[in-house]
Amino acid sequence: MNVEQKYQKWKNSPLPDYLKKQLLSMNQEEIYDAFYTNLEFGTAGIRGILGPGSNRLNIYVVRKATIGFSKYLLENVKDASTRGVVVSHDNRNHSREFTLEIAKVFSSYGIKVYIFDDLRPTPELSFAVRKLNAAGGVMITASHNPKEYNGYKVYDEEGCQLTPTKIKPLLDIISSLGEEIDLTYGDSDKPGEIVTLNSDVDQDYVNHVLSIQINPELEKDHFKIVFSPQHGTSLERAREIFEKLGYDVTYVKEQCTHDPNFSNTASPNPEMKEAFELSLLYAKKVDADLILCTDPDGDRIGIAFKDKNDEYQLYSGNKTGALLINYILGQKRQKGLLKNNSVIFDTVVTSSLGQKIAKYYGVETESVLTGFKFIGEKIHQYEISKEKNFEFGYEESYGCLIAPFVRDKDSLQALVMICEMTNFYLKQGKTLDVVLDNLMKIVGYHEDKLFSIYFDGPNGKEKMESIMAKLKEYPLKKILNSKLVKYEDYSSSKVYSLDKKELGSINLPKTNLLKFYFEDGSTIAIRPSGTEPKCKFYFGAVSQNKKENEGKNDLMFEELKKELGI
């Protein structure tokens, strides 16, 4: 069917009133964008703007995905119907409605369903799948996206988001189902039981989070924290954790409501400095040492802290991750807790800073593709083989994991360790900027920055593909007079020299990503986003001199844009 035919079919269907109203108010451009394609699974499941249409997230698209996942589980996971599926959701518009619809679909296929009585953070969903030995899980969330979005993440029996090899048969099933507006429920003779989970899961999860402490005996005096859940799911668990640990915490009360419209925050994304505007006002008022800000579904965390000059600094995911690596590995080694054959995981677009710190402690780093599911997959592989021992996993995008009882990013674990680390160093008279500067004196000065360029509309994908094709045909030869050493093309799984001679292969799943390495140690990685219409440019500026590195990423980006004609 073409766009107009799809639109008319939806228009003539018995939609809920709110969807019908939105459908009838659309102009031609909006109709085209809502129906010209189907929402697709990206690096973190389905994510899209709420509203009617095949290219929007709504109860029909959610139903179709769940019918597909039901069939997938029954075909691929032993005892799936009795083991069941865990479903959770965040604070976004229609999240609870979608959760109840998902439960109804699974039940209609004879699959047992576990749901929570209200919203829960994403890491607790992963934990619950593992605790209950469920066949899989679903999390309704759009993470840190604006209020207009929602999303649908699928988890395997390990509590890990489905990797490409696992998700392909699911996508094949979904693509065979036909139009979402035509789909109905399963017809199992014995509908699956729908079970509402009690607080036991909450308490077990919190106890596991508390168990990751390395220096639990540290006094909490003279240490003040400001915390914001950004209207999201981490509030209840974080409050309980803070109280049990005895920290002096001031909550950003305006952002402690589960508001789906994020009314009291400039941005729900802790990667953006705007997300800290209100928290900074609170911090200055109470003279806080540390600010913690989690995203709406509670898997990412951003920090700001009072530096050596008594001014507040915001740190990136790369810098926070590097500090955590240093603290965790250093303290474990000092206490004799660092295991042999230890390994940390990062991604191919994460700063090289963390790798160098890990190497300093004799710990190997393995890099995976973007998407925490690949870190979860690696943890499971080594859990089986016993070849290596997991110590830490993180992404540059403000997500990390400290203990693998969860197989996704966990802001609550990060919260515990960041508080402990900051307090530990303050007790020694060191602020985090001093600690990081001392590290960089050893391993080199690193500044990493992500730039994104949006390509909205039906031609956006073609524009991004054109950029990638140009770079593959005419790879960068230098940046700021630093010559190219090599580049990696993850779509061909090959490593090439400056003159395009093949140097080796990449043992990772193929993906549309290019990474360039330069003589001065700097890097540039470029990839189209898997969940949004934008191209991401990751710059890693490296220098032996601190002043030389200041502003270097911006200069690199400007030179690259000229090269690409953007």
Q: Are residues 424 and 457 located together in one domain of the fold?
A: no
% residues pLDDT > 90 (the chain): 91
Based on the domain organization, do 133 and 116 belong to the same domain? yes
Computed over every residue of the chain, the mean pLDDT equals 95
Distance in angstroms (rounded) separating the CA atoms of residues 155 and 163: 9
Inter-residue contact 301 to 293 (CB < 8 Å)? yes
Tell me the C-alpha distance between 400 and 295, whole Å.
Answer: 13
Whole-angstrom CA distances from 545 to 201, 365, 443 are: 50, 25, 11
Per-residue pLDDT of 262-304, as tens digits, reads: 999 999 999 999 999 999 999 999 999 999 999 999 999 999 9
> What pLDDT does residue 531 have?
64
Pairing of strands 46-49, 85-89: unpaired
DSSP assignments along 249-292, one per residue: EEE-GGG-S--TT-TT-S-S-TTSGGGGHHHHHHHHHHT-SEEE
In the listed set 164, 197, 230, which residue is the last one of a domain according to the structure?
197
- Residues 535 and 555 reside in one and the same domain: yes
Tens digits of residue pLDDT in 63-79: 999 999 999 999 999 99
As a whole number of angstroms, the distance between CA 67 and CA 72 comes to: 9
pLDDT at res. 566: 83
Domain boundary among the residues 443, 471, 489 is at 443
* Residues 497-520, mean pLDDT to the nearest whole number: 94
Q: Can you give the pLDDT at residue 172?
A: 94
* Confidence at residue 461, expressed as pLDDT on a 0 to 100 scale: 82
* Number of domains forming the structure of the chain: 3
Check whether 209 has a pLDDT greater than 90: yes
Q: Are 119 and 54 found together in one domain?
A: yes
How high is the pLDDT of residue 43? 64
How wide is the angle at C-alpha 190 spanned by C-alphas 159 and 87, nearest 5°? Answer: 25
529 among known catalytic residues: no
Please indicate, yes or no, whether residues 391 and 507 belong to a single structural domain of this protein. no
Mean pLDDT within 529-542: 86
Do 166 and 306 reside in the same domain of the chain?
A: no
In this predicted structure, what is the pLDDT of residue 329?
98
- Could you give the CA distance from residue 325 to residue 343 in angstroms, rounded to a whole number? 11
Q: What pLDDT was estimated at residue 565?
A: 85
As given in the structure block, the two tokens for residue 431 are: 């602020």
Would you say residue 44 has pLDDT above 80?
Answer: no
415 and 534 together in one domain: no
Looking at the fold, whether 369 and 403 belong to one and the same domain comes out as yes
**pLDDT tens for each residue of 416-455:** 999 999 999 999 999 999 999 999 999 999 999 999 988 8
Determine which one of 143, 234, 279, 522 is catalytic: 143
- 192, 232: one domain: no
Do 540 and 451 fall into the same domain? yes
pLDDT in tens, 318-375: 999 999 999 999 999 999 999 999 999 999 999 999 999 999 999 999 999 989 999 9
42 and 64 share one domain: yes
**CATH code of the domain in which 299 resides:** 3.40.120.10
**Type of residue found at 194:** I
Q: How much is the average pLDDT of 13-31?
A: 96
Mean pLDDT throughout 378-406?
A: 97
- Of 443, 473, 488, the residue at which a domain comes to its end is 443
Residues in the chain: 566
Please check the confidence at residue 56 and state whether its pLDDT lies above 80. Answer: yes
* Concatenated DSSP letters of 169-227: HHHHHHHTS--GGG------SSPPPEEE--HHHHHHHHHHHHTT-S-TT---TT-EEEE
Share of residues in the chain with pLDDT > 70 (%): 99
Q: Tell me the average pLDDT across 80-104.
A: 98
| CATH at 543 | 3.30.310.50
- pTM of the shown model: 0.94
Q: Assign 3 a pLDDT band (cuts: 50, 70, 90).
A: very high
pLDDT above 90 (res 459): no
Residue 28: the pLDDT is 96
Q: Say whether both 162 and 242 belong to one domain.
A: no
3-state secondary structure of 244: helix
Q: What digits encode the pLDDT tens for the residues 147-182? A: 999 999 999 999 999 998 899 999 999 999 999 999
Res 502 pLDDT > 80: yes
- Domain span at 451: 445-564
